[in-house]
Amino acid sequence: MGRAFGHRLGAAAIQLFFASLLVFALIRVLPGDLALSILADTPHTIETREALREELGLNDPQVVQYARWLWETLTGLRGVARSTGEPIRALVARQLGVTLLLALYAVTISLAFAIPLGIAAAHPKRRVLGAAVEGVTALGLAVPGFWVALLLILGLLRLFAWSPPIIYFGPLEFFSDHFALMIWPAILLAWQHAAHLLPVVRAETSRALANPFTVAARARGLSERRVLYRHAGRLALWPAISVSGVQFGGAIAGSLVLETIFGIPGIGRGLVNAALARDLPLVQTLVFVIVAIVLGVMLAADLLGLMLDPRTRYTT
């Protein structure tokens, strides 16, 4: 267990390192001068631009720039966002909390529906349910989330003359407003998440049902329901958690557009705003933070899998 844990932790660290290199390099290959992009809308002299380049460290070798940025990021997200003047640490803390809540709601909803539904749909006699699950899955994969979001808002407006709240409050401030705003993007993200999760749960349960141990369970007189949910379905849990880890990142990525549509001040909208304001150092840091979180969640899912399914401890 300890060795497997070490393997996964090491792999995550290497992935994070390469991700940081990639993020840094991608920002650098964008055309244009970063200092000029920042100053473009302000009357400035060449001296001012040079001073800013110096301040941003753009005159240093790329390796030095990379090392400094990584050090500042890893040692507490130091620095100030140029586009807003807000300390990056405070900005990330404020925005990330909102997005993580949204992603958490989405993943919780999708797990709560996808696991029992996927297990139930795996039973060979439940063809109608199976077809329904396939339909929901196909739509969730095919239909763009932002489009469904617009339809959803329009539908709420048409049917109930109601639209979601427009001011974001934390769950501890005004829970009812928080809930009424967050539930819709959470459901949409959960749907997309479940579209990936359902086929996995269903396939794993089907495979388990074909296993001899289920025949033995039936022979012992266990009910079909108990065989399905207690024995076969249990084997689908680990792949479901594993997929959820990956999809958690998808939920954060999916929030980019949904946060803008629903007016939620999360990191997705923050990233869009930073990109529009050409605050490339902030974009770089936010992307890295998102990558780190996704890797962290995937690692946590892996570790949970190690605990739930002993077989995986020997497959690394």
Among 262, 285, 291, 305, binds other proteins (CB under 8 A): 262
Of the CA atoms within 13 Å of residue 266, those in its CB half-sphere come to: 28
Among 58, 153, 222, 246, binds other proteins (CB under 8 A): 153
Query: Considering the rule CB under 8 A, would residue 82 count as an interface residue with other proteins?
Result: yes
Select the span of 63-71, 206-214, 224-232, 258-266 touching other proteins (CB under 8 A). 258-266
What is the C-alpha separation between 284 and 271, in angstroms, rounded? 9
Query: Considering the rule CB under 8 A, would residue 261 count as an interface residue with other proteins?
Result: yes
Complex with other proteins: residue 2 or 31, whichever CB lies closer: 31
Could you say which residues in the range 9-48 bind other proteins, by CB under 8 A? Answer: 32, 36-37, 40-41, 43, 45, 47-48
CA dihedral over 145, 140, 135, 131, signed as positive or negative:
negative
What is the C-alpha separation between 117 and 282, in angstroms, rounded? 41
Kindly determine how many residues on this chain lie close enough to bind other proteins according to the rule CB under 8 A: 42
With both helix axes pointing from N to C terminus, report the angle between 62-74 and 280-308 in degrees, rounded to the nearest 10. Answer: 60
Q: What is the 3-state secondary structure (H, E, C) of 104-129?
A: HHHHHHHHHHHHHHHHHHCCCCCHHH
What is the C-alpha separation between 153 and 163, in angstroms, rounded? 6
β-bridge partners, 80: 87
Complex with other proteins: residue 19 or 183, whichever CB lies closer: 183
Complex with other proteins: residue 5 or 179, whichever CB lies closer: 179
What is the C-alpha separation between 239 and 246, in angstroms, rounded? 11
Select the span of 137-145, 160-168, 199-207, 230-238 touching other proteins (CB under 8 A). 160-168
| CA 58-59-64 angle, 5° bins | 75
Complex with other proteins: residue 48 or 59, whichever CB lies closer: 48
What residues make contact with other proteins under the rule CB under 8 A?
32, 36-37, 40-41, 43, 45, 47-48, 52, 55, 80, 82-86, 94-95, 150, 153-154, 156-157, 161-163, 165-168, 260-263, 265, 269-270, 273, 276-278
